[in-house]
Chain A
Amino acid sequence: MGYFVGADTGGTFTDLVIISEAGDVRFEKAFSTPHDPSRGVINALGNGASLLEIGVSDLTAQTLRFTHGTTVGTNALIQRKGAKVALLTTEGFEDTTLITRGPMGMNLGIPAVQALDYANAKRPVPIVPAGLIRGVAERIAASGEVITPLDESAVGEMLRELLAQEPESIAVSLLWSFRQGAHEETVKRIIGELSPSMHVSISSEVAPVLGEFERTMTTIVNAYVGPVIDRYISNLRSSLIEMGMRSSLQILKSSGGVTLPERVEREAVGIINSGPIGGLVAARYLGGILGYKNIITSDVGGTSFDVGLIRDGEFEYEQTPALDQGVPARTPAVKVVTVGAGGGSIAWTDGRRLHVGPQSAGSDPGPACYGVGKDPTVTDALVVLGIIDPANFFGGRKQLDMHRATDAIRVAVAEPLGLTVEEAAAGIYEIVTARMGDLVRKVTVESGYDPRDFALLAYGGAGPAHAALYSASLGVKELVVPFTSSVFSAFGCALSDVRFSFVRSEPIVLGSIESADRYDAVFEELEAQALAEFAASGQNANGLTIVRRVDARYKGQLNEMSILVSNSQLVDAGIDSIRTLFEEQYESRFGAGTTSSGVPLEVITFRVDVIQETLKPELKEFPLAGEDAANCLTGTRKLYLKATGAIMASIYDGDRLAPGNRIDGPAVIERRDTTILIPPGHTAVVDGYRNVRIKEAAK
């Protein structure tokens, strides 16, 4: 029997999903090991093998694909534990990454309300300090024309002085290098001559796109985390080979595709923040099975609430995600919007209003019911309200203290506001749930869509405890809690495709026949490069799909919109074909009547994705048993909700529920790592893939 294996490292647990060739899905967890995350991965493999009742070497030997989602890059960036990077840039512009486009360096990537906190605002510490930045004598103009030729001997001299400071990695980003890469390539060559083992990232390779601040930051981050990720992946790969794994290790990227160990150093920046993307890959796949092309995903963790979108079976992309405060990256990432509203969000009051967050107890000290912290959190409210059973949390792996939860809410919130503990807990739950609904709505509407056209997928341990309430108010078609809810990102890892992304900015105003010729030529060059690199990676180049996108705008606009375009020649299809695509998407986003017929279109950036669909198992569909779930009923419990007050709810053992079973709210379905609330007036049905599908009963 062959296995498809996905492993995803998270803050607390390393999740593992094993799908057999027959389509049977099993999953396990192991504790994460922050000092050497590969230990956690190997432990999870061990646990997985035990689950299958085979030896770990049998599992590794029979693994057909092993795909890994890692936070090594994210952590190196956030904790500023990357390589010592030096930056070479165009003379006269050495300060670009220190100036950071003014307030952007401070306010990008933090909530607006935090940007308004003038008294305490602080810029993050630059990744490359001023002392490790050097100007290169050269200058290229917007057209690609060389204004000042590169002074090679000056570069050599400057490098010798710089190398004395012992950088571990060098980033090179020159003005307009994406129009004319020769200067950067020469600089790279000179570095190689002087220091053959040096890690080098050049902007015309890492992010050949318009805008020197973002391009340079992307190159720096790549240089910063590249050596760290490379080291980690090399070690993990050796361990897996030692354990008998023969299939190639694949690494998930934030673009939703996977890359290979040989390429991680060069694509390092694209591996950062890939964690939540696995969930979207899984959601897309599951949507395909369930017949949903429009899906909203929502994931509740200890400190954050993440929302993503799948529209027409495609991911939404964000072209310049903020990887950290003040750190934009020009690397295409599947869009996931995060707010700080999770199980650890702290409730507080000033005696008049009830607030939830933005402070979080995280996992250390954690919610009051964990036994250490004193502040009441959302998780404490769930315990008090009866939604979470303190004796059966994380499959009984963690005992929760109901008294601590009650006390924390009483002292910090209920008494100051003159509420009962239940009323206060219901308030906390209501506020945080409404806020989740507001974010889901914002994300959908921002992209020009209506939530009523979508199904909502809720996963993560706590997500399904909130989702039914806000999904009802959004009017989504259906709420789905996947079978693999608690390991959904790892599930996605096992289902992801190989994806190489290539990009280049070359501003072209579409109009003349020459502009169409140039457009076709740029795509041809990019595709040739993409196919050559694919072949060089040693992958079988059969069955490739090539996807073209352009980032276009009305001439004069500042922001581009990314549109999917056809692979045929523009000279043949005609420029109007692009215009039609652009304006359709524009109107769906900004409303009818917002297009400008008189203004020419300008293409700024060209994108080519080469996708190789990986071998995937077909998930096993189980036959439906009857509706009656009585044999899984484990008892009843008092629930307290704001709308209903105290009610009695049926409690079900979710791990024993059979396909076809039907449960009417009020009820709580308890799975080993997931709590699902079925509110009054809602009905849950277990489908053939063991997903729980929840609908509001017709009124």
Chain B
Amino acid sequence: MSSLVLDPITFEVIKHRLWQINDEQGIAIRSISTSTIVVEGNDFNVGLFAANGDLAVAGPYVTSHVTTMDALIKNVIETAGDDVEDGDIFLCNDPYMGALHQNDVAVVSPIFVDGQILLWAGNVVHHADLAGIDEGSFCVNATSVFQEAPRYFLKVVRAGVLCRDVERTFITNSRTPEMVAMDLRAQIGAINVAVKRVRELSDTYGAGVVRDVMTQTIAYSGELLRERIGELPDGTWSTEVFMDGDRVGSDEILTVKLTLTKSGETLHFDYAGSSPQSAGAVNATDYSTYAGTTTPVYAFLCGSEIDWNSSIRKSVTVDAPSGSVVNANYPAAVSICSIGFTWLTAVAATRVIAAMLSESEKYRNRACASWGVACCGNNVFSQGSDGELIGGLLSDHRGAGAGARANQDGIDHAGTVFSPLSYMSNVESQELKFPFLYLFRKRLVDSGGPGRFRGGMTILAAMTPFGTESVTWKSQNTAGSDQSNAAGLEGGYPGAGSQVSVVRNTDVWQTLSQHPTGTDIGAFGGEVIHLETKSEGVLRRGDVFVFHPPGGGGFGDPLDRDPEDVAADVRDGVISLEAAVHNYAVGLSTDGSVDYVETAEQRNARRQISATQPDTSEALRSTSGTPTPTKCPRCGRATEIGKPTRWTSPLSAAGPWLAERWQGNSPNFKLLHTSCTACGSEWDVCEVAAPDDTSPLPAFSKGA
């Protein structure tokens, strides 16, 4: 039954125009901003909202921003009460009012037509620094919200007149006041564009028609989303993802536990059992948890076919226990949540959604268990020759890989699931801006999780201080130095973790004077220190800073991968020869071609081992979310007869880039394998928190 009242033609014409108007907001912001975070990272978004604050039209930039903005606009409406007039522009960055975190400043404005609010235009921009205890306002050292950037609720434009006192107060608190001033200009400019264009539109078609199109856009995508959810199988899927280290000096492990229940036309996400809120700044508010959770719903369930807007709230609900890392209580510190627990809610939700989709015949190919699962965020600063502070956020983390899909490999260097338009900077641009010389930036071999379809690769970047005496770093890596979170599905192995390392006292400059340093961390001597996820320190001449964001998980048993694809991956430098043997059991001849006889033998032998592993881990649950099949997908033996066996191995069995701090064998996590006792195929491989009594099995040995 159609919800449309307007004729479909007028609807389509005006809807496209609204999309265009919103897009013009984005163009204005990108054009005016001086911040790399905005221009290359595209860490902002723009939206048009109904009079009641419902999001109707979202921009294609960072998804979580528009989701938090509709909550925030509703809070602005409530807080402002009667004090809303034509030409007002509000500014709010209060996480406890709906902002993602303090850096993300929302600027929203009611658009009046004939004395009534027709709609709200809004945008959110990540500002480079708004004060707080740490540079960049990602306050790794904060223990409460009072040590973070101030929380503003301001009317920055009153009835069309810029309040200069308000503007100045907002700007002056920043360590980068010029950049903040320009970004605020950009945000106000974007609103002005939207106001002008919406008025023109309403003059042409009438306010009522525009209002109807907004409402019906939301209603229509709601119908489509409910229908789509209705096509999926009912059930529940659970998973756990982890944060290893919540602040500098801590490697405490915190857990996000998530159960998705799909019933009829609704999805319910329940975070019961997640860790209590942290003393660090990584906590998520319930607003940002909703935004993180719905990101993969948009990305994988709606895709490009169903508009991304507030209608999602009707069919997708989220419960997060009060006082937990995913619903922290005031005055918990939250300034890193965007790349802290908000990020991890998206990681967990991506996984359970993938598990659900993998059980749907129709939508199985949309299942993708991981996509940029950690933000390997590194801020670096030094004093320039004239005393100014130079530096900021490095962008190399956007080289992260995506999980494999049910019918194809994961995307290499896919970036983050929050934003398909965030790009890495060129090395040359970085060297112009930062006091570093890059030693190499390369694809990280063996970083894609092994699987029938391989996970996407990530990158490895190394740099050394150049043209300066010292460089200070502050690292706010989401997770990934103890385990990876880069889960696969249906027997696919996890991809690389996310790791920041420092090599002290190298002879890198001696090496460079004759020859490039090669591409190996060990190539220039010195002492390699693998850091915890949150760290800070000082680099001096001859030290090397090196890091890699996460890879993507695999899909399906790697022993089922077409040997020709394995040979091609070796040839293209995607995987090592060792991985071809150890992860894929493929025999290659000296010319690189597949030795089918050898491969068949190796694969049979490997399956034999899997089938006969004693079940050592009855107590451990799968956390990949992969459902246990009722019969073996490979040999067809019913589960009741061919009961699967569960056994563990060190994480290094998945690849050389997991748990590097522990040489691949974390005391805290194991790889849990579930395999068929009849044919030996692996149904599930996942990282699990290891109980103390589990003795690890030997890993397959890896090439370095």
- What is the interface of chain A, defined by CB distance below 8 A to chain B? 90-96, 98-107, 112-123, 129-131, 135, 137-139, 141-142, 147-149, 151, 175-176, 210-214, 349-356, 417, 426-427, 430-431, 434-435, 438, 441-442, 445-446, 473, 507, 554, 556-559, 589-591, 593-594, 596, 598-599, 642
CB distance from B399 to the nearest CB of A (A): 5
Contact call A352/B428, Cβ cutoff below 8 A: no
Closest partner residue, chain A, to B459 (CB atom): A99
Contact call B20/A92, Cβ cutoff below 8 A: no
Contact call A99/B413, Cβ cutoff below 8 A: yes
Contact call B2/A445, Cβ cutoff below 8 A: no
Contact call A434/B16, Cβ cutoff below 8 A: yes
CB distance from A410 to the nearest CB of B (A): 16
Q: What separation, in Å, do the CA atoms of A594 and B299 have in the docked complex?
A: 35
CB distance from B545 to the nearest CB of A (A): 15
Option from B35, B408, B417, B426 in Cβ contact (under 8 Å) with A212? B426
> Interface readout for B1-37 with A: 1 if CB under 8 Å, 0 if not?
0111001110111001100100110011011101110
Option from B189, B421, B425 in Cβ contact (under 8 Å) with A103? B421
User: Does B431 sit at the interface, judged by CB under 8 A?
Assistant: yes
Contact call A594/B60, Cβ cutoff below 8 A: no
Instruction: List the A side residues contacting B513 at CB < 8 Å.
Output: 147-148
User: Does B394 sit at the interface, judged by CB under 8 A?
Assistant: no
Q: What separation, in Å, do the CA atoms of A650 and B413 have in the docked complex?
A: 59
Contact call A507/B31, Cβ cutoff below 8 A: no
Tell me the total A-B contact number using a CB cutoff of 8 A.
Answer: 233
User: Does B661 sit at the interface, judged by CB under 8 A?
Assistant: no
Instruction: List the B side residues contacting A147 at CB < 8 Å.
Output: 437, 512-513
Contact call A118/B8, Cβ cutoff below 8 A: no
CB distance from B644 to the nearest CB of A (A): 29
Question: Which residues in chain B, 450-477, are within 8 Å of chain A measured between CB atoms?
Answer: 459, 466
User: Does B422 sit at the interface, judged by CB under 8 A?
Assistant: yes
**Interface pairs (6), CB distance under 8 Å:** A98-B412, A117-B304, A434-B13, A590-B32, A590-B189, A591-B28
Option from A103, A212, A352, A431 in Cβ contact (under 8 Å) with B427? A212
CB distance from A504 to the nearest CB of B (A): 14
Q: What separation, in Å, do the CA atoms of A208 and B69 have in the docked complex?
A: 43
User: Does B178 sit at the interface, judged by CB under 8 A?
Assistant: yes
Contact call B189/A591, Cβ cutoff below 8 A: yes
Closest partner residue, chain A, to B416 (CB atom): A103
- Among the stretches B264-272, B312-320, B440-448, the one at the interface with A is B440-448
Given contacts A95-B441, A118-B371, contact A112 B417 (CB under 8 A): no
Contact call A118/B431, Cβ cutoff below 8 A: no
Q: What separation, in Å, do the CA atoms of A349 and B9 have in the docked complex?
A: 11
CB distance from B119 to the nearest CB of A (A): 18
User: Does B385 sit at the interface, judged by CB under 8 A?
Assistant: no
Option from A129, A354, A558, A599 in Cβ contact (under 8 Å) with B40? A558
Q: What separation, in Å, do the CA atoms of A83 and B19 have in the docked complex?
A: 41
Question: Which residues in chain B, 386-420, are within 8 Å of chain A measured between CB atoms?
Answer: 398-400, 405, 408, 411-415, 417, 420
Instruction: List the A side residues contacting B185 at CB < 8 Å.
Output: 593-594
Contact call B4/A113, Cβ cutoff below 8 A: no
User: Does B700 sit at the interface, judged by CB under 8 A?
Assistant: no
Q: What separation, in Å, do the CA atoms of A427 and B342 have in the docked complex?
A: 43
Instruction: List the A side residues contacting B30 at CB < 8 Å.
Output: 559
Question: Which residues in chain B, 475-521, are within 8 Å of chain A measured between CB atoms?
Answer: 512-519
Given contacts A426-B9, A434-B16, contact A118 B515 (CB under 8 A): no
Closest partner residue, chain A, to B27 (CB atom): A446
User: Does B572 sit at the interface, judged by CB under 8 A?
Assistant: yes
Query: Which interface residue of A114, A356, A557 has the most chain B CB atoms within 10 A?
Result: A557
Instruction: List the B side residues contacting A107 at CB < 8 Å.
Output: 420-421
Closest partner residue, chain A, to B426 (CB atom): A211
Instruction: List the A side residues contacting B405 at CB < 8 Å.
Output: 119
CB distance from B40 to the nearest CB of A (A): 6
Option from A102, A352, A426, A594 in Cβ contact (under 8 Å) with B3? A352
CB distance from A303 to the nearest CB of B (A): 19
Given contacts A93-B441, A442-B24, A594-B189, contact A353 B516 (CB under 8 A): no
Instruction: List the A side residues contacting B414 at CB < 8 Å.
Output: 102-103, 106, 121
Given contacts A117-B303, A352-B8, contact A102 B426 (CB under 8 A): no
Given contacts A116-B420, A442-B20, contact A211 B429 (CB under 8 A): yes
CB distance from B436 to the nearest CB of A (A): 10
Task: Rank and list the top 3 A-B pairs by shortest CB-CB distance, nearest first.
Answer: A92-B440, A427-B9, A103-B415
Q: What separation, in Å, do the CA atoms of A645 and B521 have in the docked complex?
A: 73
Q: What separation, in Å, do the CA atoms of A101 and B574 have in the docked complex?
A: 17
Question: Which residues in chain B, 278-303, are within 8 Å of chain A measured between CB atoms?
Answer: 299-300, 303
Contact call A92/B303, Cβ cutoff below 8 A: no
Instruction: List the B side residues contacting A151 at CB < 8 Å.
Output: 515
Closest partner residue, chain B, to A142 (CB atom): B431
Option from A94, A431, A596 in Cβ contact (under 8 Å) with B9? A431
Contact call B39/A101, Cβ cutoff below 8 A: no
Option from B178, B408, B422, B512 in Cβ contact (under 8 Å) with A139? B512
Option from B2, B421, B431 in Cβ contact (under 8 Å) with A352? B2
User: Does B668 sit at the interface, judged by CB under 8 A?
Assistant: no
Starting from the known contacts A93-B438, A559-B31, A596-B178, 4 additional A-B residue pairs (CB-CB under 8 Å) come to A103-B413, A118-B300, A137-B516, A445-B24
